[in-house]
A and B are shown apart, each in its own frame.
Chain A
């Protein structure tokens, strides 16, 4: 087919490793290898080195670069393992080289330490609650991990309750553990989520977007109806408004946000605000 000639140039993308800096913001696919800034000068001919001549060539400044989700270290290069856009964040204090990661779209959550998630209590065995967080294993939650809980004063948690907590242990080798207190011992918004309301699931990318600092969607939704909303990084959102109808409208809007452009969204909000 004629497509073979046209796309021959794109297939070279997988053959030669490219510098990570040049690919920022572009789509990367599994199988591609990326070069870190300090390796660019040792690449073959054809890559222009931008570093000035150094006076003591013996000492190389080592940049410590962190590989985020979607990237693996393979030798001295980065191997891309998920499809998405490559992002980079400069470090706060300038000694390390920053973080590179791949922004990918996903529905299935993998527990990460420090993430705040919404879980559903599925079992109570002895002193531990088993909480389903949408990952590959149920997380465990001790009854003492609530604010003001002691052996005499047990928290009132039943099977089927919704819990908002954070992970203290989350790696691939161990069962994830979560708690509902922060490091000072205060609840800080975590714990059992109250009665009523609606829990629904969205993709992880939408959650990250909604939790970004200046999210327009949340501001617009807040102007529509008074509501309570909890976002879990595992793709779950709990929402509660005054009436069931308003709750359902909010849930539908948030689920549909992913597939709408900004203009369509504004139209819908305008129509709802009128009625």
Chain B
């Protein structure tokens, strides 16, 4: 995009951040009274809401029940007002299905599903993007990361046993430098974007996704930038959860 410098000579990005800096993250747990678990997260301008129900009986066909594990059902729906052009069909389109599948793979790695055989855990995520310009918004990694982070908090709020947090972040590569946590301007510029979901305590990767061309020599740097950013997200989410538990137990009079 002519005239738009994603990384200045002094190392500042379009919104004034450094290469490895994250956007401001604010999160809250327990925002919905009627769901078993819920959470809301804001990463910069990307907002995501996650709601968890379960473990409950399998809805729909009993044949989908797994005899030794819980079924994790993730649905991603973007609100009709959340992108630049108003979409009519929030469910069922390819992007929603693919995102739901990716979220399911991510959470099946983290939730201890063997503790609830023949039951179902539903995770519904909804990203809400504030419209910042009139450009057409492309498929992006910032949404996936915000959804995963919100869903982790919601699953923790619901008390479903997990073996670890799942923290996600996106990363890109511009001018020989790996950038962490891409904003939508950087995503729209069309460079390579990588989305990484990490289990921080063990350092294991739950999901790694990239659909762009990147030289294999650069892959390691981008991966390391994304991993470090995911660990920073973990630190912030850790603090949010501790604060929430602290407040909840004070009211219960511990």
A83-B241, A106-B159, A137-B119 known; A31-B251 Cβ under 8 A: no
B161 to A1, Cβ gap below 8 A? no
B112 to A1, Cβ gap below 8 A? no
Kindly state the separation between the CA atoms of A14 and B164 in the bound complex, as whole angstroms.
Answer: 10
B238 to A206, Cβ gap below 8 A? no
A72-B112, A84-B245, A172-B115 known; A1-B21 Cβ under 8 A: yes
Kindly state the separation between the CA atoms of A84 and B114 in the bound complex, as whole angstroms.
Answer: 21
Query: Separation in Å of the B50 CB from the closest CB of chain A?
Result: 15
Judge whether A105 is part of the interface by a CB distance below 8 angstroms: yes
- Which of A32, A81, A205 gathers most chain B CB within 10 Å? A81
Q: Within 8 Å CB of A1, what residues of B?
A: 21-22, 24
Q: Within 8 Å CB of B246, what residues of A?
A: 27
A258 to B252, Cβ gap below 8 A? yes
B118 to A136, Cβ gap below 8 A? yes
Judge whether A50 is part of the interface by a CB distance below 8 angstroms: no
Task: Kindly supply a per-residue 1/0 record for chain A positions 104-126, scoring 1 wherever the CB is within 8 Å of any chain B CB and 0 otherwise.
Answer: 11111010000000000000000
B232 to A4, Cβ gap below 8 A? yes
- Which of A31, A172, A258 gathers most chain B CB within 10 Å? A31
The one of A31, A106, A138, A172 in contact with B163, judged by C-beta atoms closer than 8 angstroms, is A31
Kindly state the separation between the CA atoms of A206 and B249 in the bound complex, as whole angstroms.
Answer: 10
CB neighbors of A among B155-170 (8 A): 156, 158-159, 161-165
B161 to A108, Cβ gap below 8 A? no
Kindly state the separation between the CA atoms of A204 and B201 in the bound complex, as whole angstroms.
Answer: 29
Kindly state the separation between the CA atoms of A209 and B235 in the bound complex, as whole angstroms.
Answer: 31
A70 to B161, Cβ gap below 8 A? yes
A29-B165, A137-B118 known; A260-B251 Cβ under 8 A: yes
B36 to A82, Cβ gap below 8 A? no
Kindly state the separation between the CA atoms of A181 and B27 in the bound complex, as whole angstroms.
Answer: 47
Q: Which of A5-13, A38-46, A156-164 contacts B (4 or more CB under 8 A)?
A: A5-13
The one of A7, A27, A31, A103 in contact with B235, judged by C-beta atoms closer than 8 angstroms, is A7
Closest-by-CB residue of B relative to A134 is: B56
Q: Can you list 29 A-B contacts with CB-CB less than 8 angstroms, sorted by A residue number?
A: A1-B24, A3-B236, A4-B21, A4-B235, A11-B238, A13-B238, A15-B201, A27-B242, A27-B246, A30-B165, A31-B163, A31-B164, A31-B199, A82-B156, A82-B159, A82-B161, A83-B245, A103-B249, A104-B245, A105-B248, A106-B158, A107-B37, A135-B56, A136-B54, A137-B57, A137-B118, A137-B119, A172-B115, A209-B253
State the B residues within 8 Å of A (CB): 21-22, 24, 36-37, 54-57, 112, 114-120, 156, 158-159, 161-165, 199-202, 231-232, 234-236, 238-239, 241-242, 245-246, 248-249, 251-254
